[in-house]
Structure 1
Amino acid sequence: MITLRPISKDNFWDCIDLAVHPEQQSFVTSNAISIAQSKVQPECIPLAIYHEDVMVGFVMYCLDTDDDEYWIYRLMIDQHYQNQGFGTEALHQVIELIKDDKTRHQIFLGVHIESESAIHLYKQVGFEFNGQIFGQEHVMVLNY
């Protein structure tokens, strides 16, 4: 069972210590930078992903102030916990949190085109590429 919990002083260092496989490092922004971003962009909501009482990953979403749409800015699962379904379950939970806002019907995210496992995960949940590219990231959208 996966739960999403706020980042706090009690779990901050556990979150900072999470790491993806070395070959995936160029695909994700560090959790430390993401947490810092949430402090200067209060619309960003950083959450720890727990399996029972063990932190296995990190996710951050927001209602973006540039386009007034929901974005999943970050999703990472620690290298020791990948391929166990935790990313899929966490993604479903974040989507449900966002869907609580009945005024919007799309969720966006950016993904590196070389990150095949992330693309597979996002497509499995229903995200599709929309043709936009921002820097190194290709934009995917989920319409609901």
Structure 2
Amino acid sequence: MFTEIRDDFNKEEILALRIADEQEGFIESTLECLQEAEHDRRFIPVGLYMEDTAVGFAMYGMFPHEKNEQRVWLDRFLIDERYQHQGLGKHFLELLVRYLTDRYHCRQLFLSVYETNTAAIHLYKKFGFVFNGELDENGEKVMVKEIHKHDNDDSH
């Protein structure tokens, strides 16, 4: 389950989420993400929950691209260090891909990742994301997943 973060209802537990030390620099803190979402309302921040416990965070949205195109981005995705290595990254990525595909009726999903973040790249590739040759404004490599109608029926 994931819950949109737009008020103080669950903000404190989201701010308490931490990544492992070796992941520092791969993703902004949840505080930075929430501040960015407050400034740019196209970003939709969500807490990732197992029962009533916040175990992760994601942020997504639809953004303009060239030639009047729109791109759906899974812009941030993290699992708290206390809950890593339990299959939750895979579980929540699958839920998010399905949700974003249904919500936006999109044919592609985009994300970006630093090339040194090999664990994330490995996970994203398992879900069909491939590098498209682009870099984002932070120098991260852009990955895209082509959405096919049967993707919502696949299990990974």
TM-score bucket (shorter structure): over 0.9
1:140 aligns with 2:143: yes
When normalised by structure 2's length, the TM-score is 0.86
Shift of 1:88: 1.2
**Partners in 2 of 1:10 and 1:44 — Cα distance?**
18
Q: Counterparts of 1:79 and 1:71 in 2: how far apart (Å)?
A: 23
* Partner Cα separation in structure 2 for residue 46 and residue 65 of structure 1: 18
Amino acid in the other structure paired with 1:80: R
Q: Normalising by structure 1, what TM-score?
A: 0.92
Matched with 1:125 is 127
**Count of residues paired in the alignment:** 141
What letter corresponds to residue 91 of structure 2 in structure 1? E
Q: Secondary structure at the match of 2:83?
A: coil
Bigger RCO (CA 8 Å, 6+ sep): 1
* Structure with a larger share of its residues in strand: 1
Overall identity of the aligned pairs, in %: 33
Instruction: Report the Cα distance in structure 1 between the residues aligned to 2:107 and 2:9, rounded to whole angstroms.
Output: 35
1:68 corresponds to which of 70, 75, 89: 70
- Structure 2: which 5+ runs fail to align? 148-156
Please, what is the CA RMSD of the aligned residues?
A: 1.2
Q: Does 1:105 align with 2:101?
A: no
Which residue is equivalent to 1:18?
17
Deviation for aligned residue 1:10: 2.3
Q: Which runs of 4+ in 1 moved over 6 A?
A: none
Whichever residue aligns with residue 139 of structure 1, its letter is: V
Aligned amino acid, residue 23 of structure 1: E
Name the aligned partner's letter for residue 79 of structure 1: E
User: How far, CA to CA, are the matches of 2:139 and 2:85 in structure 1?
Assistant: 24
Cα shift at 1:40: 1.7
- Shift of residue 62, structure 1, vs aligned partner: 0.3
Matches of 1:89 and 1:44, distance apart in 2: 22
Q: Distance in 2 between matches of 1:94 and 1:27?
A: 20
Larger mean Cα displacement after TM superposition, 130-139 or 48-57 = 130-139
Give the aligned partner of residue 27 of structure 1: 26
Distance (Å, rounded) in 2 between the aligned partners of 1:51 and 1:86: 9
Within 1, Cα distance between the matches of 2:129 and 2:122? Answer: 10
The alpha carbon displacement at 1:13 in A equals: 1.1
Q: Which letter maps to 1:143?
A: E
Q: Give the secondary structure class of the aligned counterpart of 2:3.
A: strand
1:107 aligned counterpart, secondary structure: strand
Cα deviation digits, residues 87-108 of structure 1 (max 9, x gap) = 1111111111211122x20000
